[in-house]
């Protein structure tokens, strides 16, 4: 990516590195990538990161070598992956359940990056068996810019049992489970973790199990946060074999679904370069719809339609 920055009078005498970090919001890693793999020019001449620049000068920042960027124009559908947004900066894709975000070993191919382009940089990630929206930056600079912008993430999930109120907030610290690199647990020395929830519908499953359709709003972004919080309150996600029912206690609905009933439903964000407001939504996948269709649904009167999104910003559906 090629960026141009006109040095202002307020910037006079600052180093190029200071401008990259403070004005253009480069991370330390992104600035290092410019130094190692890109180019930094002042009025057409190469300069070092530690060199001061003068007001009125033009900085040209070539962020990384062309082969390290992904400038492909993708079709609307790539296999089971649906593209909801793409421009020169990033993509928003709808990931199906059962697919990794990135490979976890050499040669693994059933993942977003291998199927789309290995040069993409995941800004958000989902567990293999969680479906829904993921943001993929086209280069490391855009990835870095996203860390400077606010983002709202909403999920839809189907849980066992009945939450104590129709809406509320789960405030429980989360840390790594002892002896595991995957599992997380609620623990006193864990990191602060907040999940807002709103019950959208009550369900009576054919097996007799009580289920609820819940909208979750992540206020923090811990690994497995929704799954851990629901399990800690005694209401694990349907189908969750890591934090939910055991093989002995699993219900017919758990077995039929065969994955945790969790879907990354809505993203609300600012474009990392233009500041434009963007709201993107992915409808419930077929397996979760079928589970709800098999139950006697009773929607909460005050709850919004879970397939509707109202915003005064740009909306992509």
SS3 248: coil
Is residue 88 pLDDT above 70, yes or no?
yes
Of the candidate ranges 142-156, 214-228, 245-259, the one whose mean pLDDT is the lowest: 245-259
Neighbours of 313 (CB within 10 A): 11
**Active-site hit among 11, 94, 127, 129:** 127
Maximum Cα interatomic distance, the chain, rounded to a whole number of Å: 73
Q: How far apart are CA 158 and CA 290, in angstroms?
A: 12
Average pLDDT, the chain: 87
194-247 pLDDT, tens per residue? 999 999 999 888 888 899 999 999 999 999 999 999 999 999 999 999 998 776
Question: Of the candidates 241, 290, 251, which has an alpha carbon nearest to the alpha carbon of residue 160?
Answer: 251
- Residue 181 — very low, low, confident or very high, per pLDDT cuts 50/70/90? confident
Q: Tell the CATH superfamily of the 151-316 domain.
A: Pseudouridine synthase (3.30.2350.10)
Classify residue 58 as left (phi > 0), alpha (psi -120 to 50) or beta. beta
Least confidently predicted of 55-59, 77-81, 205-209, 284-288: 205-209
For the chain, where do the domains classified as CATH 3.30.2350.10 start and end? 151-316
Q: How confident is the model at residue 148 (pLDDT cuts 50, 70, 90)?
A: confident
What would you report as the CA-atom Rg of the chain, rounded to the nearest whole angstrom?
23
Q: Which CATH number fits domain 77-146: 3.90.330.10, 3.30.750.24, 3.30.70.580, 3.40.640.10?
A: 3.30.70.580
Output the pLDDT for position 3. Answer: 82
pTM of the model: 0.81
Burial of 269 (0-12, 13-18, 19+ CB in 10 A): buried
Cβ–Cβ < 8 Å for 315, 85: no
Question: Which residue intervals of the chain bear CATH 3.10.290.10?
Answer: 2-67
Q: How far is CA 89 from the centre of its chain?
A: 16
- How long a stretch of residues is the chain? 317
Are the C-beta atoms of 157 and 230 separated by less than 8 Å? yes
- 288 with 313: CB under 8 angstroms? no
Give the Cα separation of 186 and 152 in Å (integer).
23
Which pLDDT band holds residue 281 (cuts at 50, 70, 90)? very high
Output the six-digit token pair for 90. 């990033």
Pinpoint the residues of the chain covered by CATH 3.30.70.580: 77-146
2-67 placed in CATH 3.10.290.10: yes
Residue 311: pLDDT band by 50, 70, 90 thresholds? very low
For the question of residue 127 being annotated catalytic, the response is yes
């Amino acid at each position: 990516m090629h960026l141009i920055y006109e040095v202002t009078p307020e910037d006079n005498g600052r180093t190029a590195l200071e401008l990259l970090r403070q004005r253009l919001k480069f991370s330390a890693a992104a600035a290092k990538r410019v130094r190692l793999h890109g180019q930094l020019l002042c009025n057409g001449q190469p300069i070092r990161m530690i060199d001061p620049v003068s007001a009125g000068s033009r900085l040209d920042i070539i962020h990384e070598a062309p082969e390290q960027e992904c400038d492909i124009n993708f079709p609307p559908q790539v296999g089971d992956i649906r593209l909801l947004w793409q421009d020169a900066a990033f993509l928003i894709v709808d990931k199906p359940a059962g697919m990794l975000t990135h490979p976890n070993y050499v040669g693994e191919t059933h993942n977003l990056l291998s199927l789309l382009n290995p040069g993409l940089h995941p800004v958000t990630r989902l567990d293999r068996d969680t479906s829904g929206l993921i943001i993929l930056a086209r280069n490391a600079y855009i990835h870095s810019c996203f860390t400077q912008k606010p983002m709202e993430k909403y999920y839809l999930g189907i849980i066992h049992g009945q939450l104590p109120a129709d809406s509320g907030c789960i405030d429980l610290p989360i840390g790594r489970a002892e002896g595991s690199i995957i599992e997380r647990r609620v623990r006193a020395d864990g990191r602060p973790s907040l999940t807002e929830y709103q019950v959208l519908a009550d369900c009576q499953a054919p097996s007799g199990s009580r289920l609820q359709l819940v909208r979750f709003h992540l206020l923090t972004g811990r690994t497995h946060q929704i799954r851990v919080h629901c399990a800690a309150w005694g209401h694990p996600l349907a189908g969750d074999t890591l934090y939910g029912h055991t093989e002995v206690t699993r219900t017919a609905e758990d077995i039929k679904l065969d994955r945790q009933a969790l879907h990354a439903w809505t993203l609300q964000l600012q474009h990392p370069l233009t500041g434009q407001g963007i709201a993107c939504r992915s409808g419930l996948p077929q397996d979760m719809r079928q589970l709800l269709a098999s139950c006697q649904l009773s929607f909460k009167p005050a709850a919004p339609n879970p397939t509707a999104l109202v915003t005064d910003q740009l909306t992509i559906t």
